[in-house]
């Protein structure tokens, strides 16, 4: 495969499109909010969109929308960005295996993560910010994250990088770094992003294994849904004293486990208990 201007633009959209979109919307918000009676003033201190603003998540669909246009301009099919389903049975099997792998990796690395960073407190606080959303809204956020991010970072970027370079480690590494760094911002601080890097790496490896975009969308969305549905447990009280239940360490570990799919309550939810 040759790198054409259309594909090059598609790679830019896939790898940094979410960041560019946030910056554009932040600049527009600062411009519109920083004027009064046509008199320029300083932009608001927090001009970027909030993660709990559903409009931000609706806007994320712009990125895969542009990528679908790019695929059409390239003359390629959806299969070229990983839209492959061998059978319903295999789809369900791969989703189950993917969730089990994410759970197993979390159990394996949990002792290590407990000794580095902030012990998961920043990730817990980030999850707690979503408690203001209703259950359908949280599920929408989870579906949006799974569908938009997997389409961009794995479906388009990883598939095109593989086609252009034929180098699996290079292509996977670029997609993984873009995926991880794309979560920096107002909701997740540096320590939380470090924790998010683990499932980001796992999903990248799973995509290279399954090469099925629908499978990874489902795994990603279900994993996020578990954490978001448990967000009420990780609300930080106004006095800044930690999660609402007062058990900082325990709540932090539950938040990290929920985000990675390792929590007894989360497993109960998946079983419908």
Ordered DSSP codes for 75-129: T--GGGGT---S-HHHHHHHHHHHHHHHHHHHHHHHHHHTTSTTTTHHHHHHHHG
pLDDT band, residue 190 (cuts 50/70/90): low
Q: Are 50 and 186 in contact (CB under 8 A)?
A: yes
Element (H or E) spanning 36, and its range? strand 35-36
pLDDT computed for residue 261 by the predictor: 43
pLDDT computed for residue 103 by the predictor: 79
10-40 confidence digits (pLDDT tens):
999 999 999 898 888 878 877 776 554 454 4
pLDDT computed for residue 211 by the predictor: 95
pLDDT computed for residue 171 by the predictor: 97
The whole-number average pLDDT for the span 83-112 is 89
pLDDT computed for residue 28 by the predictor: 82
Q: Which residue has the higher pLDDT, 7 or 181?
A: 7
pLDDT computed for residue 73 by the predictor: 97
For the chain, the C-alpha Rg in angstroms (whole number) is 19
CA–chain centroid gap for 51, Å, is 12
Lowest mean pLDDT among 192-196, 204-208, 217-221, 247-251: 247-251
Q: Are 233 and 251 in contact (CB under 8 A)?
A: yes
pLDDT computed for residue 248 by the predictor: 42
pLDDT band, residue 143 (cuts 50/70/90): very high
Q: In the predicted model, is pLDDT for residue 271 greater than 90?
A: no
The whole-number average pLDDT for the span 147-152 is 96
Q: Which residue has the higher pLDDT, 149 or 198?
A: 149
Q: In the predicted model, is pLDDT for residue 267 greater than 80?
A: no
pLDDT computed for residue 44 by the predictor: 44
pLDDT computed for residue 111 by the predictor: 77
The residue with tokens 């290590």 is: 112
């Amino acid at each position: 495969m040759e790198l054409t201007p259309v594909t090059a633009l598609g790679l830019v959209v896939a790898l940094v499109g979410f960041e560019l979109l946030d910056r554009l919307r932040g600049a527009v918000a600062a411009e519109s909010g920083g004027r009064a009676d046509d008199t320029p003033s300083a932009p608001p201190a927090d001009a970027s969109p909030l993660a709990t603003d559903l409009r931000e998540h609706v806007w994320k669909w712009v990125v895969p929308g542009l990528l679908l246009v790019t695929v059409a301009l390239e003359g390629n099919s959806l299969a070229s960005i990983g839209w492959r389903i061998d059978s319903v049975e295999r789809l369900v099997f791969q989703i189950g295996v993917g969730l089990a792998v994410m759970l197993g990796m979390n159990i394996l690395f949990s002792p290590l993560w407990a000794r580095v960073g902030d012990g998961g407190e920043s990730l817990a606080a980030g999850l707690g910010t979503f408690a203001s959303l209703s259950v359908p809204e949280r599920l929408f956020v989870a579906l949006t994250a799974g569908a938009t991010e997997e389409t961009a970072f794995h479906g388009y970027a990883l598939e095109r990088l593989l086609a252009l370079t034929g180098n699996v480690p290079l292509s996977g590494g670029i997609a993984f770094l873009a995926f991880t760094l794309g979560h920096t911002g107002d909701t997740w601080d540096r320590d939380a992003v470090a924790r998010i890097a683990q499932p980001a790496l796992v999903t990248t490896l799973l995509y290279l294994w399954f090469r099925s975009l629908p499978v990874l969308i489902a795994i990603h969305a279900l994993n996020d849904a578990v954490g978001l549905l448990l967000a009420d447990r990780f609300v930080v009280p106004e006095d800044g004293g930690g999660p609402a239940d007062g058990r900082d360490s325990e709540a932090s570990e539950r938040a990290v486990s929920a985000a990675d799919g390792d929590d007894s309550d989360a497993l109960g939810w998946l079983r419908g208990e």
